[in-house]
Amino acid sequence: MVKITVKRTNEPQFLYETTVETSIDSLLQDIATIYNGRLKVQRISAELEDLSKHGIILPPNMQGLTDDQIVDLKLKDEFAEKCRPSGGSIQRKDEIGRRNGIAPNQQMADILMKTCKEAKDMISKKKIEADICVTQKTVKDALDILRGAVMIVYPMGLPPYDPVRMELENKEDLSGTQASLEVIPIESADLWWAGKQLLRGKKLGDFVGKNEKTKIVAKLQKVGQGAPCREPIISEDEQKQMMAYYYRKQEESKKLSADMDDSYLDAKWADNQMLKKQFQGLSDIKWGPR
């Protein structure tokens, strides 16, 4: 099996396994789906962390308003009572006015936080170091456990406009957000290896050869962005080690230079003629006017 370390810019994302007979079209679809799925898991986890602290999100027309403004405008959160967390709640005001402040109790909050960590660990970049590949099933399993945690804590469900529910139902609207720039549509996915674009309509073996035990590093990006920057000759860690090494050498050189100072030669005890001068009575002779 061919193992591909998929990178986005210079950041390794996940390890992917395939064969040389796989078509580039199928490869791009699978890799882009996994990449976007990992982003979805990360977005949901971030929202669940806020959910565990400050409760469900407010209706769009109430977000960012103060309590007085909400009263003056006679606005009401219709889902505040319908979407109560199981096991009781804690009042924890959201300072930015995005959530309603009715947070789950500590036990339920711990369920959400623990599940978020588990889901993120399943798609973590550290899997590369452990030589563990990520598949679409891995991403699906991570999403499933997040969905299960939400159902446990909020058995009545979340409001239809809640970002967690929208993400889980694939109805999220990312337009105008930084997240929209990170997502790569399948039809716009592009893969580069060794300075070459892996062209659609061909097989992976057309580029990497027929050896199934090949390991490569490929960069994922959007069509039209051109060839990605080449990998640096040395890694960031190697560069840090080299800088530390040369700094130590520089300090050692400074120390040696200080040790080689020959100003001590002007001292009396360093004069190898001093004993002779003392016998001849010439040791304390001074030149100059009286």
Residue with tokens 């959400």: 112
Buried/exposed 20-45: b ≥16 CB within 10 Å, e otherwise: beeebeebbebbbbbbbbbbbbbbbb
Q: Which pLDDT band, with edges at 50, 70 and 90, does 48 fall under?
A: very high
As a whole-number percent, the residues of the chain with pLDDT over 70 amount to 89
By CB atoms closer than 10 A (0-12, 13-18, 19+), residue 51 is buried
pTM: 0.78
User: How would DSSP label each residue in 168-183?
Assistant: HTT----TTSHHHHH-
Q: Which pLDDT band, with edges at 50, 70 and 90, does 269 fall under?
A: low
Over residues 170-219, the pLDDT tens digits come to 999 898 889 899 999 999 999 999 889 999 999 999 999 999 999 999 99
Pick the more confident residue, 27 or 270: 27
Q: What mean pLDDT is predicted for residues 43-63?
A: 93
Q: What mean pLDDT is predicted for residues 244-266?
A: 75
The per-residue pLDDT for 257 is 72
Strands laid side by side in the 2-8 sheet: 11-18, 2-8, 215-222, 189-193, 196-197
Q: What mean pLDDT is predicted for residues 246-275?
A: 72
The per-residue pLDDT for 70 is 83
Model confidence at 236: pLDDT above 60: yes
Model confidence at 244: pLDDT above 60: yes
Q: What mean pLDDT is predicted for residues 77-94?
A: 88
Model confidence at 290: pLDDT above 60: no
The per-residue pLDDT for 85 is 92
Over residues 2-40, the pLDDT tens digits come to 999 999 988 899 999 999 999 999 999 999 999 999 999
97: left (phi over 0), alpha (psi -120 to 50) or beta: left
Domain boundaries, the chain: 2-222, 236-280
Model confidence at 267: pLDDT above 70: no
